[in-house]
């Protein structure tokens, strides 16, 4: 376990942090040089390096600056505080989860319709694909504004953007999954004179479960992106998206990077959770365990 799973991950993390520090030095050095120039000093490389890691508004904050910022805004703040990252993460997470659940349900419903009806297959599938070619950044403010004008604000409009992004992978994956039973299995149900709903519940649905979880992993990551994008046009009230926007207004790069990192950690946890549930269900369904 430690050698095969943890060690490779830690190696990559260490490499990323090393590269990150190197870039922090390279990108933040010009500021220090020009500052020294203005002060009429000459400054050596060994003097520059420590200064590049402690700037107020660095081009690229050093990892430990981000770590300190995250620590201060999570552990040292009450979670009800507007300055707590946990509070903002929760705002984003609740929209993500609501949107993801609606998106998954919509995706499954669409897939069931497409698989069972030739008309839906021909008419819906092109629209499902077209829907994803519209840049969400252009669409998100419209959704927020339209809902705002009819008095719907807060969670729901953001969740709808998540829904918009997450229904697609689920619909596509489930169409594939519901069509995945072998011909022989379909013939078998036919010899039993099984009706459509029996074929669906006893064959198509169980066959599609692995596909469902694979697409749900993509869907939940997309949901999180959707919720964050949905928070940008709301005037930076709350949420990780609001933190990103506020950070960029005031040039608070440390704040931006810590919000980014928290969003990434959140996405990782959510994808991991879906994967874990999927694995658990697979084992319950008797699927042969992969040999480690």
Closest by CA position to 71, among listed 249, 261, 266: 261
179 sits near other proteins (criterion: CB under 8 A) = no
Measuring CA to CA, how many Å separate 124 from each of 143, 197, 275?
Answer: 22, 22, 29
In angstroms, the CA 267 to CA 150 distance is 31
Measuring CA to CA, how many Å separate 271 from each of 13, 123, 137, 221?
Answer: 18, 32, 23, 7
Q: For the CB of residue 211, give the shortest distance to other proteins in the complex, in Å.
A: 13
**By three-state DSSP, how is residue 263 classified?**
helix
The answer to whether 57 and 251 have CB atoms below 8 angstroms apart is yes
Sole binder of other proteins in the list 182, 265, 269, 276 (CB under 8 A): 182
Sole binder of other proteins in the list 48, 120, 128, 194 (CB under 8 A): 194
Sole binder of other proteins in the list 13, 187, 251, 276 (CB under 8 A): 187
Measuring CA to CA, how many Å separate 281 from each of 100, 102, 166, 201, 215?
Answer: 19, 21, 21, 16, 15
**Under rule CB under 8 A, which residues in 206-225 are in contact with other proteins?**
206, 209
Considering only the stretches 48-56, 58-66, 268-276, 283-291, report the one whose residues sit in contact with other proteins under the rule CB under 8 A: 283-291
196 sits near other proteins (criterion: CB under 8 A) = no
The answer to whether 245 and 236 have CB atoms below 8 angstroms apart is yes
192 sits near other proteins (criterion: CB under 8 A) = yes
User: Residue 21 contacts by C-beta under 8 Å, 6 or more apart in sequence?
Assistant: 53, 62, 63
Binding mask 218-257 for other proteins (x = CB under 8 A): ----------------------------------------
Sole binder of other proteins in the list 138, 150, 184, 290 (CB under 8 A): 184
Q: For the CB of residue 283, give the shortest distance to other proteins in the complex, in Å.
A: 11
185 sits near other proteins (criterion: CB under 8 A) = yes
Considering only the stretches 90-98, 109-117, 240-248, 279-287, report the one whose residues sit in contact with other proteins under the rule CB under 8 A: 279-287
In angstroms, the CA 101 to CA 236 distance is 25
Measuring CA to CA, how many Å separate 99 from each of 70, 164, 190, 225, 265?
Answer: 26, 8, 38, 11, 19
Considering only the stretches 49-57, 119-127, 150-158, 281-289, report the one whose residues sit in contact with other proteins under the rule CB under 8 A: 281-289
288 sits near other proteins (criterion: CB under 8 A) = yes
Sole binder of other proteins in the list 140, 160, 189, 245 (CB under 8 A): 189
Binding site for other proteins (CB under 8 A): 182, 184-185, 187-194, 198, 202-203, 206, 209, 285-288
């Amino acid at each position: 376990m430690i050698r095969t799973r943890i060690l490779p991950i830690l190696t990559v993390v260490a490499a990323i942090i090393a590269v990150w520090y190197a870039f922090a030095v390279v990108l933040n050095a010009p500021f220090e040089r020009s500052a020294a120039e203005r002060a009429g000093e000459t400054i050596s490389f060994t003097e520059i390096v420590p200064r590049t890691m402690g700037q107020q508004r660095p081009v690229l904050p050093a990892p430990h600056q981000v770590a300190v910022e995250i620590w201060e805004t999570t552990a040292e703040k009450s979670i009800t505080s507007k300055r707590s990252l946990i509070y903002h993460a929760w705002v984003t997470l609740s929209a993500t989860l609501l949107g993801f659940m609606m998106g998954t349900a919509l995706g499954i419903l669409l897939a069931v319709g497409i698989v069972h009806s030739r008309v839906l297959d021909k008419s819906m599938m092109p629209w499902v694909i077209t829907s994803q070619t519209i840049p969400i950044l252009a669409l998100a403010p419209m959704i927020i504004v339209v809902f705002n004008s009819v008095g719907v604000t807060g969670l729901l409009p953001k969740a709808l953007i998540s829904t918009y992004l997450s229904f697609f992978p689920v619909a596509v994956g489930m169409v594939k999954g519901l069509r995945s039973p072998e011909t022989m299995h379909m013939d078998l149900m036919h010899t039993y004179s099984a009706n459509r709903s029996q074929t669906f519940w006893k064959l198509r649905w169980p066959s599609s479960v692995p596909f469902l979880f694979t697409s749900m992993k993509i869907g939940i990551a997309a949901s999180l992106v959707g919720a964050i994008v949905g928070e940008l046009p709301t005037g930076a009230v709350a949420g990780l998206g609001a933190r990103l926007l506020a950070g960029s207004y005031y040039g608070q790069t440390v704040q931006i990077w810590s919000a980014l990192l928290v969003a990434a950690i959140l996405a990782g946890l959510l994808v991991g959770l879906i994967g874990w549930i999927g694995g658990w269900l697979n084992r319950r369904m008797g699927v042969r365990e992969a040999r480690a």
